[in-house]
Structure 1
Amino acid sequence: MTGSWRLAWDHGSAEVQSLGAMLGPLSLRIGDERELEIMHVAPWAGMTRSSSLPGIMRRLRGEWPCLPFGCTEPPQGLPAAWRTHAPEDSWNHGYAANHHWRCVSATGQRIHLAIDYPPGSPIEHMEREITADPHAPAVDVVLRVWARRPARVPAGLHPTFRLPPAAGRVRVVLGPHDGIHSYPAQPAGAVSRLLSDTRSASLDRLAGIDGPVDLAHLPLGAPAEELLQVRAVGGTGTDAPFALHYLDYDACVGLWWDTAQLPDLLLWVSNGGRIHFPWMSNHLALGAEPVNSIFDLGRVATAPAGHPLADRLGIAISPEAPWETRYRIAAWPQTSPTTSE
């Protein structure tokens, strides 16, 4: 059954659609006067031409789970030491991201959805619960994965945050990490300003084609499409491993997740760097994706043994018990403590 369901509570409101079980829009209320729309909604959603797009793209928005995570075609120009192989299926970012979920139960404070996977998949079915925090501008999410057979599956969550049009008005804040790795190939059909297959220590001084690139302040003033993996990122105390400071709102948004299960953060900076439909050179969004995967390549490529991300092989699932993870998205005024990079 197709449809959508709404959350509404004293500190915010949200919508969850059946396609991909995508959460978005999500509005969080900070105090009496500030209401922050934090989740991205693609501008082509609802356009006539969007009906021809793959399921994941048709009404792209907000946050959703991706299992198995990653693309189904290897990019051109991977370094010679990388080996490519065919994926087990043809669904970019997994079957669940491209199909409709069914509603198990729904109230104004909690939505519980489920989806069955095709018979050949090692995943039998998945469920996800999205709950509004009655005491805060926050939502809590639980994802459970039931397996048909033991397998190791590249896994990722896919929160995609809204960026305003004015350059540099959102500051990206990371917790402690072991370095930031650029994509090992140039993105197809897109403008990239980073040197491929490099490691940088800080988000504000990434190794760029024309010198250091600052991706800690978004949007950029020039078109770009970038994919980066932050290795072994973590929070400090109660601080989030990832946060955004919306400067024009004096507000922050944080993402907490189990970094033992999903140790890295994939950053997708979509900054008007793709010209073809549906992107049309005007797509602005920031994906902040907790992953156990090597970029989005775990289904189609294997890194050389010496690569710092070569051990990111995915989560272990088994019929003996469901795999479960929990995560949280919350907002707070800037006067509260934030994370440090």
Structure 2
Amino acid sequence: MENITFGAEGISVSVDLAVGHIADLVIERDGRRLKPLHRAPWIGEPREALPGTLPDGVLRLSGDFLCAPFSRADVEPAPLHGWPANSAWDVTGCAATPDGWRASLRLRRKVMGATVDKILVLRHGHPFLYQEHVFTGGEGAISVAHHAMTVMKEGGRLAFSPKRLAGTGDEALEPDPARGRSLLAYPARSTDITRFPAADGDAVDLRDYRPERLQEDFVTLVEAEPAGLGWTAVARKAEDDLVLVLKNPAELPVTMLWISNGGRDYAPWSGRHRGVLGIEDGRAAVGHAASLGDNWLKREGVATAFELGGRVAFRQVIGALPVGSSQLPDRVEAQAGSLRLATAGGGRIEVPFDAAFLCIRAVEPV
């Protein structure tokens, strides 16, 4: 069995068991069918037509997946983003629950000696996929991140929980103009995400995803508060919906944005990987060795790895709502049993949500 598909009222999910990627997420709400996640355009193409050196995680790039480590696996040998993103998972449980559905998967390989489990939960009437990853045992430390990806045909607007800092690494993703293009400055830091330094000396508003701006860039956002709800909202223009990615900042203190919009000219990207935004909540720097050693995030007081040896768990939530870009929130709050979104214009949206899943304290309704 290569894929597993299961659902609850108003939501279904498919997992590519060959690599552990979320192959599809479908949310049915208010008479609409939303598909918030991205699949690479080369999936399904003949293997011989693609570069032979591509890791399986790139060949089957889709939806969301666990990175462990994040980026380069330069401590324990593994492909890019580690074995959880590139090798097989087994189903250890998949059954209906009183309020929805629960599936459990286990990575066939171990990571730094640890057993890795993926738990996926759907709840009736909730427009969210609840995910948990658990590392049991092992030695040393591991950097981790989710790799959720959405796609926008005509761009969109972004909003975030408050961030205290945004930064790029030492090198651009695509420094060679013969192969692609990066538009942000590297390295760069800014406490204002509306004016992040660009390579041409200008500034870029990281909240604005413009389809005409061809680029391949990577920038890390640091949460302003270590407690409460961490969130990213993407109002997709053509799709006319709102994609939400939620986390506990105490577990995953950074959100890394991968802006992939026609910025790579070589195969398999070939200028056709457009409108993609990676929303990569993690505890990581770029590369396993860098995450364990000195790095700019650690100097800012940000944890970039989990210590292994016992039980390590972290969670993330992905969902979508059938609301247009005019309802991009400026505040998102978890209440007991619901998620409340408030817009600058005074609008309010409330949907079913399990705040306890992220181990955060629900706010009192006003």
Q: Is the TM-score greater than 0.5?
A: yes
Q: Per-residue CA shift, 1:38-63, capped at 9, x if unaligned?
A: 11100001111348431111111001
Runs of 4+ with >4 A deviation: 233-238, 300-311
Give the CA deviation at 1:237. 6.4
Helix, strand or coil at the partner of 2:329: coil
**Conserved in 2, the CA contact under 8 Å of 1:174 and 1:233?**
no
Change (3 A) 1:315 1:332: same
Work out whether 1:42 is the aligned partner of 2:40.
yes
Which segment is superposed worse, 155-164 or 43-52? 43-52
Give the CA deviation at 1:110. 2.8
User: For 1:227-306, what aligned pairs fall within 5 Å after superposition?
Assistant: 227-232=218-223, 240-284=230-274, 285-294=276-285, 296-300=286-290, 302-303=293-294
Q: In 1, Cα distance between the equivalents of 2:137 and 2:254?
A: 23
Q: In 2, Cα distance between the equivalents of 1:340 and 1:191?
A: 34
Unpaired stretches in structure 2, ≥5 consecutive residues: 333-366
Give the CA deviation at 1:249. 4.7
Change (3 A) 1:44 1:181: same
**Conserved in 2, the CA contact under 8 Å of 1:233 and 1:265?**
no
Q: Per-residue CA shift, 1:154-187, capped at 9, x if unaligned?
A: 11111111222x2x3x211111111110222122
**Conserved in 2, the CA contact under 8 Å of 1:152 and 1:313?**
no
Change (3 A) 1:205 1:197: same
Q: Which residue identity is paired with 1:42?
A: A
Q: In 2, Cα distance between the equivalents of 1:117 and 1:254?
A: 31
Change (3 A) 1:304 1:183: closer
What is the match of residue 337 of structure 2? none
What is the match of residue 171 of structure 2? 185
Q: Per-residue CA shift, 1:233-256, capped at 9, x if unaligned?
A: 569966x52111123454322111
**Conserved in 2, the CA contact under 8 Å of 1:176 and 1:236?**
no
What is the match of residue 222 of structure 1? 213
Change (3 A) 1:241 1:308: farther
TM-score by length of 1: 0.84
Change (3 A) 1:23 1:245: same
Q: In 2, Cα distance between the equivalents of 1:8 and 1:304?
A: 41
Work out whether 1:104 is the aligned partner of 2:95.
no
Superposition RMSD in Å: 2.6
Q: In 2, Cα distance between the equivalents of 1:304 and 1:142?
A: 27
What is the match of residue 87 of structure 1? 75
Q: In 2, Cα distance between the equivalents of 1:311 and 1:234?
A: 11
Counterpart pick for 1:195 among 143, 166, 185: 185
Unpaired stretches in structure 1, ≥5 consecutive residues: 73-85
Identity percentage over the alignment? Answer: 21
**Conserved in 2, the CA contact under 8 Å of 1:18 and 1:101?**
yes
